[in-house]
Amino acid sequence: MGDRLRVLTIIHGFYPLRGGAETVALEIASRLARGGVDPVVLTAGFEGLPREEKIEGVRVLRTWSPRGRALGPSGPGGMIAFTLAALRPALRLAEQADVVHAHFTIPAGLVALFLHRTRKIPYVVTLHGSDVPGYNEARPFSELYKITRPLARAVWRAAGRVVAVTASLGEWAREIEPAAPIEVIPNGVDTRRFSSSPEGTREVGRILLVGRLIPLKGHAVFLRAMARVRKRWSGPLSVEVVGAGPELERLRHEARSLGLLDIVEIAGFVPFEELPSRYERAALFVMPSLSEALPLAVLEAMAAGLPVVASRVGGIPEALAGVDALLVPPGDEVALAEAIIAVLSDPGRARNMARECRTKALTLDWDRITSRYLCAYEELVSPRRGE
């Protein structure tokens, strides 16, 4: 083996897809590349992208995918297709890899398990939430978990390290497989890209939501809460909802039916490069999710120095531990409205919340998080190098 550590990352979706796990994989791999590590990413392809390219210093290889122009596989069929399509290139890449990092138990973890059994390569698997059986009871997950549970246990038992992005997620996984070598490493945030705004750039009363437009994100609950806020709050008020997803038109219809179109903009998809400017304009960030692991948008808002109102679910309380943020029960539009009004009506408290959020975010900078993964890789690789 050479002196440079060689890491093979496997994930079924990658840039230009910008979901939470895809962003995590890119942030870690790009920092590894800048730090003298040789990272390679194996992911699913789709029409219009090259089979191989370099992104931020990271070599990216894309397998065949049945999704055509869609951004990577989705659903059971797509997961199975990626697993099968990835086996051959994974075997080839394994010849030049010291350690494998799989994002999601399935399908990437299955490929990592295959490499471990055939090539004896150690691997790390990061759990992002929905890949932990029982974590998401909404269909189709609830049915799929009956099949994936034994597969997940096999992947976790053979892993050199199972990384949970929150302590609560780690405990959930440990109940399923007590022998899993679980370590908690939270998601991170780029504290230079998302930074506190200069005085005067924020718009008074401007509320920002960032996240996929799916039912579990709680946007409908938020809109009903805003109808209550509007009746009681006489100051400036505007809302921007950023994110793509199947709920786009339904949410626009909901905003219209609640008489909120003059203050609520369902902006839809916004390029990642434009997100910092959206945070800079906002005065308050809201995350009304019904279920979460550790949403990157909350960390981005914290890094941007925004006060946060969020649901008390998943890893959100862990991310905001030690911060004077307002957490409310998921699905409770009355409590959500009260929390929003509490922040809007107390500028001094809002400023204090914002400072605390920024301070906490600095402890979660991606450089720090990547160094923790690097330590995990090196611990697994050292025995193979005879150290």
pTM (two decimals): 0.91
**DSSP H or E run through 43:** strand 38-44
> What is the rounded radius of gyration, in angstroms, for the C-alpha atoms of the chain?
21
Q: Are 185 and 169 within 8 A, CB to CB?
A: no
For tokens 């299955």, the residue is 110
> What does the pLDDT read at residue 1?
42
CATH class (in words) of the domain with range 206-362: alpha beta
Strand 238-242 to 206-210 pairing = parallel
Low-confidence stretches of the chain (pLDDT < 50) are: 1, 72-73, 387
Please tell me the distance from the alpha carbon of residue 43 to that of residue 66, in angstroms, as a whole number. 13
> What does the pLDDT read at residue 138?
58
Q: Are 73 and 13 within 8 A, CB to CB?
A: yes
Half-sphere exposure of 197 (CA within 13 A, CB side): 22
For residue 163 the two structure tokens come to 């990384």
Q: Which of 183, 378, 197 is nearest to 283 (CA)?
A: 197
> What does the pLDDT read at residue 67?
59
* CA angle centred on 181, ends 7 and 174, rounded to 5°: 130
Q: Are 169 and 127 within 8 A, CB to CB?
A: yes
> What does the pLDDT read at residue 137?
63
Q: pLDDT tens, 197-240?
A: 776 679 999 999 999 999 999 999 999 999 999 999 999 999 99
CATH number of 6-188+365-385: 3.40.50.2000
Q: Are 384 and 122 within 8 A, CB to CB?
A: yes
Half-sphere exposure of 14 (CA within 13 A, CB side): 35
What are the extents of the domains in the chain?
A: 6-188+365-385, 206-362
Count the residues in the chain: 387
For tokens 């999601």, the residue is 104
Please tell me the distance from the alpha carbon of residue 254 to that of residue 63, in angstroms, as a whole number. 40
Please tell me the distance from the alpha carbon of residue 62 to that of residue 10, in angstroms, as a whole number. 10
Q: Which of 142, 174, 83, 136 is nearest to 292 (CA)?
A: 136
The 10 Å CB-count burial string (b at 16+, else e) for 345-376 is eeeeebeebbebbbebbeebbbeebbeebbeb
